């Protein structure tokens, strides 16, 4: 029994090792996070045909850049890469919790119930506004080893996945804000141009 537990632990360590990155800010993050107004944020991402070492290296660099910006989610288009890839980590304080890596994610179903919650984005720093989204989703995706996966997500995880998946379609959370008054005030206060919002 002990041997099988040891084997399980070893396998878990191996899998974790493929994207193990320190959850600490670094002085020169490898990737630049683009902000509202940059055209790359509006480009639709392309499906990843093969999950290989170059994709895993990109995942690591995205995580390093996300942790350096003190974010909880980052999509490849935010760093100017048109690939269907996003990383999420809602447990920044715990170095042993692995991040969520979603490659080619697709929403299979959404709940009928909606929730309103405040969102922010590394591409629109300082701006926080309420967004209405489905309360729960079911998704399919590939993990960092290329294995097909499915998961149900609600709460902050479900919202974060939906927020980051929007980036893969060139959509930003400000496009979904229903209060024009709040939107205009926040954007102006933080030096962003209202014309760069594509209202949905």
Residues 6+ apart with CB under 8 A from 191: none
Q: Which residues of the chain have pLDDT under 50?
A: 1-2, 9-10, 12-17
pTM: 0.90
Residue in the structure block whose two tokens are 């141009």: 193
Asked if residue 1 belongs to a domain, the reply is no
pLDDT of 4 reads 54
Asked if residue 177 belongs to a domain, the reply is yes
Asked if residue 7 belongs to a domain, the reply is no
Asked if residue 81 belongs to a domain, the reply is yes
- Residues with catalytic roles: 164
Asked if residue 3 belongs to a domain, the reply is no
Write the DSSP string, 74-132.
EEGGGGT--BSEEEE-S-TT-TTSPPEEEEEEEEEEE-S-EEEEEE--TTSTT--EEEE
CB 60 within 8 A of CB 31: no
pLDDT of 26 reads 95
Domain that holds residue 99: 18-194
Number of domains in the chain: 1
pLDDT of 154 reads 98
Asked if residue 82 belongs to a domain, the reply is yes
CB 87 within 8 A of CB 63: yes
Q: Which long-range contacts (CB under 8 A, 24 or more apart) does 181-185 make?
A: 182/129, 182/130, 183/129
Asked if residue 2 belongs to a domain, the reply is no
Which CATH number characterizes residue 63's domain?
3.90.45.10
Write the DSSP string, 33-67.
PP-TT-GGGGSPPB--S---HHHHHHHHHHHHHHH
CB 35 within 8 A of CB 167: no
Q: What is the pLDDT of residues 60-102, one digit of tens each?
A: 999 999 999 999 999 999 999 999 999 999 999 999 999 999 9
Asked if residue 84 belongs to a domain, the reply is yes
């Amino acid at each position: 029994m002990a041997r099988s537990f040891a084997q399980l632990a070893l396998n878990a360590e191996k899998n974790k090792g493929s994207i193990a990155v320190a959850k600490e800010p670094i002085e020169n993050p490898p990737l630049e996070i683009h902000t509202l107004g940059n055209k790359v944020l509006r480009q639709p991402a392309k499906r990843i045909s093969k999950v290989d070492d170059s994709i895993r290296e990109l995942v690591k660099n995205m995580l390093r850049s996300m942790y350096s910006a003190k974010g909880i989610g980052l999509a490849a288009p935010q760093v100017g890469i048109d690939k269907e890839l996003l990383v999420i980590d809602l447990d920044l304080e715990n170095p042993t919790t692995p991040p969520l890596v979603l490659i080619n994610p697709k929403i299979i179903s959404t709940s009928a119930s909606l929730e309103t919650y405040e969102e922010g984005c590394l591409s629109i720093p300082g701006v926080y506004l309420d967004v209405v989204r489905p309360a729960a989703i079911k998704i399919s995706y590939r993990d960092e080893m290329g294995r097909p996966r499915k998961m149900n997500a609600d709460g902050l995880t479900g919202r974060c996945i939906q927020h980051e998946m929007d980036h893969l379609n060139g959509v930003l959370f400000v496009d979904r804000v229903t209060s024009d008054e709040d939107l205009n005030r926040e954007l102006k206060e933080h030096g962003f141009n209202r014309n760069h919002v594509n209202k949905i």
